[in-house]
Amino acid sequence: MLLSELQYAALLSYASHGDSASVQHSRDIMLTLKRDGFFQGASNRQILASEWVAQTIQRNRSALPFASFLSPDTILVPTPKSSLGKEVAQVLSRVRPLRKAALSAPENRPLPKEYYDSMEVQKLLPEPSSIVLVDDIVTRGSTLLGAASRLAEAP
């Protein structure tokens, strides 16, 4: 079964094309997130992008949109990377590599079906009431649709 719709919440939204200063700023943030670089926080302290994202969501978790996604019994599942490397928690893992979407031209981005075919559910979850998939950058949502479809059919 291939899902065609998913609800999502995002901390930031990304303007992908163009030359304006705000588009370049948005691109700088995206590239920093992608390589997990550093942001400049209070009193010039450097903070790892992934830590800033985690802290900011944590601080806002009782506010919308996060409040409707993060209940006490929600299980967070990381979306597999395009490579076959080790994951934080191997609930879902890549069994076949797949070209990266965020960095490829729209016509070359893999379809949800290709993501679905590239992943397997590794571990049985203790019957969670809700699962939230987590990813760094969502472009068309194909990775998430593929991953959610895999999870939905897990026994």
- Residues in contact with another protein by CB under 8 A are 17, 24-25, 27-29, 31-32, 34-42, 45-48, 52, 55-56, 82-83, 97-100, 103-105, 108
Q: How far is the CB of 43 from another protein (least distance, A)?
A: 9
| CA dist., res. 31 & res. 103, Å (int) | 10
Q: How far is the CB of 36 from another protein (least distance, A)?
A: 5
Q: How far is the CB of 144 from another protein (least distance, A)?
A: 17
Alpha carbon 54 to its chain centroid, in Å, reads 12
Quick one: 75 or 137, whose CB is closer to another protein?
A: 137
Contact call for residues 110 and 117 (beta carbons, < 8 A): no
| CA dist., res. 139 & res. 101, Å (int) | 7
Query: Among candidates 135, 128, 126, which has minimal Cα distance to 100?
Result: 135
Q: How far is the CB of 56 from another protein (least distance, A)?
A: 8
Q: What are the tokens at 9?
A: 């919440």
Token pair 């609800």 is at which residue?
A: 7
Quick one: 56 or 71, whose CB is closer to another protein?
A: 56
Quick one: 65 or 97, whose CB is closer to another protein?
A: 97
